[in-house]
Chains A and B, each alone.
Chain A
Amino acid sequence: MSGILIVAEHTRGVLADSSADLIGAAMAVKAQLGGPVRVLVAGDVPRVFAEALNRPGVDEILLAQTDNAHFDAAVSEAAVMAAARAHEPALILIGHSASGVSFAAALAVQLGSGFAADVFGIAVAASGLRATRGGYGNKVNVELDFPGKSVVTLTVRGASFKAPEGHGDARITTLPLSLDGIKGRYRHMGFEEAPASDIDVSKAEFILSIGRGVQDEKNVPRFAALAEKLGATLGCSRPVADSGWLPKPHQVGLTGKVASSCKLYIALGISGAVQHQHGMKHVETIVAVNTDANAPIYNVATHGCAMDVFVFADALERCIG
């Protein structure tokens, strides 16, 4: 009994970024924990993902054949249980995603394992595995131990670990899987694309937000274009929404939305009133651009630059071409 079991995730034929990140997470403790690193991928044609998962440090890729291309929490749970029973890992890593959270805790129940969710730090202490996660709106960090557990299930926060680059030499094997008793209780019906205009700052991971510093409604489209180019969701402060320069769903703050999934927040021309900070100060990385070097936004920002937002936008546009 040893080693790490990674559960890969894919949606509509595309492997989730988080799957490679999990390999990075495994590498953080592989040496101390010992044993092989195995990646499990379940699906109707699991082999198509094998190549992308074959990264340095991975010892084995387990392919579990299912009869449905699409995610089913019960099937994922059964596949991981089968792999766990077969290989007895000390650590199971799952992405903290919509799909991951749908079965990770169920595994913890079935295995009676240690469990922690949304983990961004993994280490091995004298007492065994130790995971670090955020608590209370990420105001504190929590270190968790798993005394007496021979196996620990963790869901890992996206982009917390860097995936190893390059190509590995993992063995590719098939994991026998029986799905009797699961079939028929859950049926895939189809996907719907998110409406193009759909703005949800509470779910955006990357937000570029504008404040009164943009000065005029006619400057807004320029920042909207910049946000799109960067792949960011466009947010704003209350005055911008109140002036009708942007629809209300863009507003971040106490009276708007809390950027609860955000990892990177760029605040342009926002002074950082308490009401705005309420919606964003917890974000891991905040870049603030404001002419006033004493603006309260700099008390919560990670990086700051006291410059004009238009000069900054010019330079940023040049930089990304």
Chain B
Amino acid sequence: MEDTRALFWNLSPFAVTAFYLLGFAAMGASIWGIVGAIRKYQRGQPAPGFPGWTAGVGKLCADILTHRTLRRRDAFAGMAHAAIFFGFALLFVGTAIITLEYDILKPLFGITYWKGAFFRFFGLTLDLAGLSVLAGLLLMMWRRGVRQPEKLDYRRAYAGEAKARPAARKWKREDWIFLIALFVIIATGFAQEGLRHAMERPDWSVWEPAGHWLGALFSVLDKDTLHQARVMNWWFHGLAALTFLVALPWYKAKHILAALGSLAARDPLALRRLPKAREGAAAGVGKIADFSWKDLLDLDACAKCGRCHEACPARAAGYPLSPRDFILDLRLHNNVAKGRDLPGKRLIGDVIDPETLWSCRTCGACLEICPVGIEHPVKIVKMRRQLVESDQIDPLLRATLDTIGASGNSFGEPARKRAAWTRELEFTIKDARKESADLLWFVGDQASFDPRNQQVSRTVARLFRAAKVDFGLLYDGEKTAGNDVRRIGEEGLFESLVEHNLGEMARAKAFRRVVTTDPHTFNTLCNEYPEFGEITPVVHYTELLRDLLECGALVVKKPLGLTVTLHDPCHLGRLNRRYDAPRRVLEQIGCRLTEMPRNRDNSFCCGAGGGRIWIPDRPGSQKPAELRMREAAALGRIDVFVTCCPKDLTMFEDARKTAGLEKDFVVEDIADLVAKAVALDTFDLRDLPALTEKITAAIAERVALTVAKQIDDVLARRILPTAALPAASPAAAAPPAPAASAAPLPPPAGVWQAKPVAPARLPIYEIPPKNGVRIMVPVKQIGKLGDDFVFTDDQRAIPDEYFEHLLNEWDDTALEEALRTIEALEGGEVVVVTIGPDGAEDAMRKALAKGAHRGVRVWGEHLADADPIVIASVLAGIALQEKPDLIFTGAQSGDQANAATGAALASLLGLPRVGMAVKTRWEGGATLQVTRELEGGVQHNVEIDAPAVIAMQTGGNMPRYATMRMIKLAREKPIAVVEAANEDVCRAARINRLFVPQTTRAAMLEGGADEIAAKVVAIIREKMGEKT
């Protein structure tokens, strides 16, 4: 007989049948659990990033077979896992091979193969596999029990928790049970083999070395004991293995299956390209079923390995976010919810704290290192979308989003100042909207507006110029690219920014490529814009500099010989795999690069990403950038910390100071280093006017001089008095005389008149019948003036192009008060009224998006420069038709600040009024309680009869945020347009002229400290009065 062994030794047919039944039951339970899990995932939404099973499984196999994702940054754990995984896989294959013969081929066809040489080789292989599993398990136990790496501690020290939560203690038990259970299964298997060898002593015994050795050991036992032990251990081993099979879809073992799915379903562009908000559904994730099926699968795939926890910059700096704990908290919730709504438990608030979501910098460190392909930041952004949609955002972030919505940049600067940084250049950069160029430079916010980065932008521009690169800008046509807006969760605003920028690029003259210095811009242009429209290839300036240096367009004249370290920007390196260009540039300019321990894909975020730069840091918290500075300082002697990202430069410059490392090294942008190496300061970059222009200009100047002289001579010979001559040059500097059209009206001749102003007579427009109370809120679209502007020729106005248009902040407060009043009354409507041309509807749309029910816009050309009294008379004309129960106005406007509309409107309507109100309470009755704020913060409580006019001061409430999506949806709301006839309006004032108040650079106070202090005290007394 050939070498083999019997199965089901010594078992009665009944016992065999019982075991088969148990086996099928276990398999059934396992399959039931797996199907349940799959059904749970199916309750999720579609996963747009899913690459398809063919591609996904291919990548999965590559990663599993190489164990690439498990070996990274934890070779020990990777090795131990490989020993367990591959050992277990072989054991599984071995069992399958036996089953194939014993249960299928042999009974059906009489085919057997588990014998002879194959049997011996099989025995050896499986013995080694089992030993490998045991070794791996022991290593894992040693790691957990002895080495105890910090990342395996589930206590949330970063969130200030001193004790592990009950769930965390359960996880710890679960980890140990998992290891021990596996160990027991394998160990009892070996014991069974040893007992068999001890009883049967086969001559091929050495082919199962473990059995052979254990058999020898067990031989000391008598035959009966061996027999009994063999029977008992067989059942124990068998039942343990079946129990494990049952446990597979639950508990820690579930990662074995779920991770296969999550790895196969990985989005190759995860985080680089965020999913669009679903049409017609909630913008974000507010309940578990809003997640995609891949998200839900991810929750089960997590093996709690802690690699993400270790890599997260937010966690490292003490923010309440650990990507692992975020996933585990969601998993705990979904274990109960199973992809359905769980009444009484809010996903955001009860399961995940909003603060956790805001802590993320979307640097992708967690996603990058996760061995099972979990996409944490994508989930965070999806949940942020919900926070934005429901207005649970930091007030400063809200203000920034408003600013971006209004002016297209986060700095609150007018759009026309976007290219102001170019003014100091010796040359003019092409306007890509007017001239074609090889490269379009998309500058981005930080590089356009931050003074330190403006210097870098100029250096980059000069380098391009010196290298004869043909490039252009979109100038004020560019708006922020929106990478961080999207990552904050304001999807609608992002979409409108994309639409704008793609439109500008499409309208621009031809260009071949886009270049940017900003990795955030780079990322969204490369990966996200293509989903919205066509875009030419995008390169990062480090790639361009590398090419320019390599092709000799830039020649290194002074190799720098500096020792430097390089920070890989998250959005350039980790997310877009551009690691080499900056390193190559450094090499070419003669820098010695000393890498920080965390480099390339493990680069440690500066903390500014994901819109975090717009959210104030928690007082007393460390900044990720400071941790990074210390990491660089620990390298020992480095001269320069090199950045290639505008935000990095800002963050690290600050952090170097706050971490007290100012003497250790400097932070510089790579372009500045290149500029030094190529001796940029020796280049003449000035614009050289074309020869013909030069000749024309020279001739013109000559002619002008000669003619002027001749005229002077002629005039001098005449005897005309000079006073009668027309002024030779326009008196630009002198204040102009009152314009001629302002024919001086004689002071009213003797009659003192008091003629009350009346409400404007306006055409009747359609008003729906009242349904509950009606509150009227006049809203104004104000003009915010930038630093650069000119007056119109008559000096009475400033052209519209110099203004950014915004909803008046005070009116926003009034609207909020009106909305809250209506909400408290659970009924009624808010009508917003604005006076202005078509364009003024933007502010009203915003008001409608926030919840106002309908709008009325009044316009007539004569209202263009109306004074507050005229405005009030028009509003009164509307109020007479609307018959509101209450009117909330802003106490003043942000641009003209007359603080007159409320009082004037009340007077026109004969209504009682309160000015500078900060608090109101109205239950719909005959009176309302109002608190008005006086100088110095004293509050005055009054009661007033309704209807009334309440002028709201800011600060009384926090106006809600209208997302771009809500603004788009509000397009459905009705706006009545009323034409105001040019009746004989009674103007209260007329602008004589506008002028710029004199400002100069500070007059420096001179003298000793005491002298200066005395002067300052004098200034204080002069300004603030003697009481100080």
Interface residues, chain A, with chain B CB atoms under 8 Å away:
1, 11, 17, 70-71, 73-74, 77, 84-85, 88, 96-99, 101-118, 125-128, 130-131, 134-151, 155, 159, 184-195, 198, 200, 202-203, 205-206, 212, 230-231, 238-239, 241-245, 247-248, 254-256, 263-264, 266, 273-275, 278, 284-288, 293, 296-307, 311-312, 314-316, 318-320
State A114–B869 Cα separation when bound (angstroms).
9
- B734-758 near A? 1/0 per residue, CB < 8 Å: 0000100010110110111111110
Asked whether A189 and B869 contact (CB < 8 A) given A73-B914, A304-B1003, A304-B1004, the answer is: no
Q: How far is the CB of B682 from chain A (nearest CB, A)?
A: 25
Q: Is B689 an interface residue (CB 8 A)?
A: no
Q: How far is the CB of A66 from chain B (nearest CB, A)?
A: 15
B903 and A105 within 8 A (CB)? yes
Most chain A beta carbons < 10 A, residue from B738, B990, B999, B1003: B990
Most chain B beta carbons < 10 A, residue from A98, A117, A296: A98
Partner of B989 from the list A98, A146, A243, A247 (CB cut-off 8 Å) is: A146
Q: How far is the CB of B880 from chain A (nearest CB, A)?
A: 14
State A306–B617 Cα separation when bound (angstroms).
30
State A143–B897 Cα separation when bound (angstroms).
15
Q: Which residues of B contact A205 (CB under 8 A)?
A: 1024
Q: List 30 A-B contacts (CB under 8 A).
A: A17-B1025, A97-B935, A101-B900, A102-B913, A102-B916, A108-B869, A109-B907, A112-B753, A112-B755, A112-B756, A115-B989, A116-B898, A117-B899, A135-B994, A136-B784, A140-B994, A140-B995, A143-B992, A146-B988, A146-B989, A188-B941, A203-B937, A244-B618, A264-B1023, A286-B1002, A297-B1002, A300-B1002, A305-B1004, A318-B1010, A319-B1010
A316 and B1016 within 8 A (CB)? yes
State A51–B472 Cα separation when bound (angstroms).
71
Q: A1-B751, A102-B915, A111-B755 are in contact. List 15 more A-B contacts (CB 8 A).
A: A11-B938, A73-B903, A73-B906, A88-B752, A105-B904, A186-B943, A190-B940, A241-B619, A264-B1019, A264-B1023, A284-B1023, A293-B1004, A298-B1001, A298-B1002, A299-B1002
Asked whether A127 and B744 contact (CB < 8 A) given A84-B754, A135-B896, the answer is: yes
A190 and B937 within 8 A (CB)? no
Q: Which residues of B contact A255 (CB under 8 A)?
A: 396, 399-400, 614, 616
- Which of B461-469, B484-492, B926-934 lies at the binding interface? B926-934
Most chain B beta carbons < 10 A, residue from A77, A85, A142, A200: A142
Which residue in chain B gives the minimum CB-CB distance to A12?
A: B938
Q: Which residues of A contact B754 (CB under 8 A)?
A: 84-85, 110-113, 151
State A136–B993 Cα separation when bound (angstroms).
14
State A298–B897 Cα separation when bound (angstroms).
27
A139 and B785 within 8 A (CB)? yes
Most chain A beta carbons < 10 A, residue from B745, B908, B988: B988
B399 and A150 within 8 A (CB)? no
State A319–B873 Cα separation when bound (angstroms).
54
State A43–B912 Cα separation when bound (angstroms).
19
Most chain B beta carbons < 10 A, residue from A106, A238, A301: A106
B939 and A299 within 8 A (CB)? no
Q: Is B411 an interface residue (CB 8 A)?
A: yes
State A113–B1027 Cα separation when bound (angstroms).
36
State A41–B747 Cα separation when bound (angstroms).
29
Q: Which residues of B contact A296 (CB under 8 A)?
A: 451
B894 and A137 within 8 A (CB)? yes
A191 and B752 within 8 A (CB)? no
Partner of B899 from the list A1, A101, A297 (CB cut-off 8 Å) is: A101
Interface residues of B in 270-290 (CB under 8 A from A): none
A278 and B412 within 8 A (CB)? yes
Residues of A contacting B: mostly:
mixed
Q: How far is the CB of A68 from chain B (nearest CB, A)?
A: 11
Q: Which residues of A contact B912 (CB under 8 A)?
A: 74, 185-186
Which residue in chain A gives the minimum CB-CB distance to B937?
A: A194
State A136–B806 Cα separation when bound (angstroms).
13
Asked whether A130 and B992 contact (CB < 8 A) given A77-B907, A111-B756, A305-B1005, the answer is: yes
Partner of B750 from the list A1, A151, A318 (CB cut-off 8 Å) is: A1
State A266–B1028 Cα separation when bound (angstroms).
14
State A286–B1020 Cα separation when bound (angstroms).
10
Query: What are the 9 closest A-B residue pairs judged by CB atoms, nearest first?
Result: A244-B619, A194-B937, A106-B907, A1-B752, A102-B915, A304-B1002, A105-B900, A315-B1013, A301-B1002
A106 and B904 within 8 A (CB)? yes
Q: How far is the CB of A305 from chain B (nearest CB, A)?
A: 4
Partner of A202 from the list B412, B891, B954 (CB cut-off 8 Å) is: B954
B1023 and A105 within 8 A (CB)? no
Q: Which residues of A contact B1017 (CB under 8 A)?
A: 316, 319-320
State A84–B754 Cα separation when bound (angstroms).
9
A287 and B1025 within 8 A (CB)? no
Partner of B1009 from the list A155, A303, A315 (CB cut-off 8 Å) is: A315
B757 and A109 within 8 A (CB)? yes
B1024 and A264 within 8 A (CB)? yes
B900 and A140 within 8 A (CB)? no
Q: Which residues of A contact B104 (CB under 8 A)?
A: none
Asked whether A306 and B1004 contact (CB < 8 A) given A194-B938, A319-B1017, the answer is: yes
B1010 and A189 within 8 A (CB)? no
Q: Is B798 an interface residue (CB 8 A)?
A: yes
Partner of B1023 from the list A126, A146, A159, A200 (CB cut-off 8 Å) is: A159
Q: Is B1012 an interface residue (CB 8 A)?
A: yes
Partner of A187 from the list B785, B942, B989, B1020 (CB cut-off 8 Å) is: B942
Q: Which residues of B contact A191 (CB under 8 A)?
A: 938-941
Q: Which residues of A contact B413 (CB under 8 A)?
A: 274
Which residue in chain A gives the minimum CB-CB distance to B898?
A: A117
A110 and B756 within 8 A (CB)? yes
Q: How far is the CB of A302 from chain B (nearest CB, A)?
A: 6
Q: Is B783 an interface residue (CB 8 A)?
A: yes
A187 and B744 within 8 A (CB)? no
A101 and B916 within 8 A (CB)? yes
Q: How far is the CB of A176 from chain B (nearest CB, A)?
A: 17
Interface residues of B in 384-412 (CB under 8 A from A): 396, 399-400, 411-412
B988 and A98 within 8 A (CB)? no
B785 and A263 within 8 A (CB)? no
A98 and B757 within 8 A (CB)? no
A206 and B872 within 8 A (CB)? no
Which residue in chain B gives the minimum CB-CB distance to A33?
A: B747
Q: How far is the CB of B280 from chain A (nearest CB, A)?
A: 35
State A243–B992 Cα separation when bound (angstroms).
49
Partner of A148 from the list B745, B785, B914, B1010 (CB cut-off 8 Å) is: B745
B900 and A318 within 8 A (CB)? no
Q: Which residues of A contact B617 (CB under 8 A)?
A: 242
State A102–B933 Cα separation when bound (angstroms).
12
B619 and A312 within 8 A (CB)? no
- B862-884 near A? 1/0 per residue, CB < 8 Å: 00000111001100000000000
B742 and A192 within 8 A (CB)? no
Q: Is B730 an interface residue (CB 8 A)?
A: no
Which residue in chain B gives the minimum CB-CB distance to A286?
A: B1002
Q: Which residues of B contact A244 (CB under 8 A)?
A: 618-621
Which residue in chain B gives the minimum CB-CB distance to A285?
A: B1023
Q: Which residues of B contact A300 (CB under 8 A)?
A: 999, 1002
Q: How far is the CB of A181 from chain B (nearest CB, A)?
A: 10
State A130–B618 Cα separation when bound (angstroms).
51
Q: How far is the CB of B988 from chain A (nearest CB, A)?
A: 4
A142 and B872 within 8 A (CB)? no
B1023 and A102 within 8 A (CB)? no
Most chain A beta carbons < 10 A, residue from B752, B787, B902, B913: B752
Which residue in chain A gives the minimum CB-CB distance to B1024?
A: A206
Q: Is B543 an interface residue (CB 8 A)?
A: no
State A195–B933 Cα separation when bound (angstroms).
13
Q: Which residues of A contact B936 (CB under 8 A)?
A: 194
State A18–B113 Cα separation when bound (angstroms).
108
- B706-746 near A? 1/0 per residue, CB < 8 Å: 00000000000000000000000000000000100010110
Q: How far is the CB of B635 from chain A (nearest CB, A)?
A: 26
B1024 and A126 within 8 A (CB)? no
